[in-house]
Chain A
């Protein structure tokens, strides 16, 4: 099944055109997306580096995990909403972009890994086993790094 008609419909939609015809909207959304990246990357990395035992060793994983959990949710919500609008405005370009395809293949895995694997480990009272902690942190960093790097590359592949 070819998805191109769906992508064309997205770009032609009211929402896609709203962002597309505006001079300022796309750059503003892009800027907020970038602020979201900083926040999301920060709250992920602080806990991941703690899981790797290289940062904030004197703080329990659960304390950091719980203290940053609301901000993780906020950052994800900000990224998904701004990312969705950016996509709608240039869906056809995204369709033809290998970087976008890589990002869309990795993003659901990263989200599922974060909420189904990482957060249960991070929010638990008992400290995680050292190798489980390392595996979770490495998975989180690799997945989100791929999402971020391929996302940045969409802009270069035009």
Chain B
């Protein structure tokens, strides 16, 4: 079902045009990668502060209030450019093991943000100025750092074709994880 929609999407003229373009695709990809500096970079600065590893003396609320809006704005750019890249070759990404890992880790990062804002932020006034915030805040920061690092690494590895469905034989587990359309011998 989803695969059929993506197969149709990949046949639309704009998808083919983007996929085959000499400059649009690399420029979109460059924007996606360079925006990482603002998005993942500012998120990392906040995480390092919450881990007590950077910017001691700066209240955490100063960063969540004055830094996070930039992180969110950069995330919008990440999503827009990311969707455009996905739109260029939807089926390639659908069957990519690394892309599937990336989506999974995006989910982990998202749930972590929801939990952090629903639970940890509420008591923030008590440890706003602490050089080393409490365990729950440090855990959220560590999960965030690891999840986003994983998103970046798996995103980079999508470009490698080691597990590509078209290159058979692949192990059964790889074919299963990527839903490769292979006919059993």
| Residue ranges of A at the interface with B (Cβ–Cβ < 8 Å) | 23, 27, 30-31, 34-35, 37-46, 49, 55-59, 63-64, 67-68, 70-71, 145, 148-149, 152-153, 156
Contact = CB atoms under 8 A, between A and B. Distances in A.
A67 B37 contact: no
B134 interface: no
A35 B150 CA distance: 10
Contacts of B67: 46, 55-56
What does DSSP make chain B's interface, helix, strand, loop or mixed? Answer: helix
23 contacts: A23-B162, A27-B157, A31-B156, A35-B152, A38-B39, A40-B41, A42-B38, A43-B45, A44-B41, A45-B37, A45-B41, A46-B42, A58-B66, A59-B66, A63-B55, A63-B57, A64-B55, A67-B55, A68-B54, A71-B45, A148-B34, A152-B33, A153-B30
A56 B63 CA distance: 7
A98 B112 CA distance: 42
A152 B44 contact: no
Contacts of B139: none
Query: 8 tightest A-B contacts by CB?
Result: A42-B41, A41-B37, A67-B55, A38-B40, A31-B153, A41-B41, A156-B26, A56-B66
* Interface secondary structure of A, over-half rule: helix
Given A39-B41, A43-B41, A55-B70, A27 B156 contact: yes
A135 B36 CA distance: 24
Nearest to B59: A59
Interface string B139-180: 000000000110011001100101000000000000000000
A93 B36 CA distance: 26
B26 to A, nearest CB: 5
B107 to A, nearest CB: 20
Interface centre among A38, A45, A156 (most CB of B within 10 A): A38
Nearest to B69: A55
Nearest to A50: B66
Given A45-B38, A156-B26, A38 B54 contact: no
Contacts of A39: 41, 44
Interface in B27-86: 29-30, 33-34, 36-45, 48, 54-58, 62-63, 66-67, 70
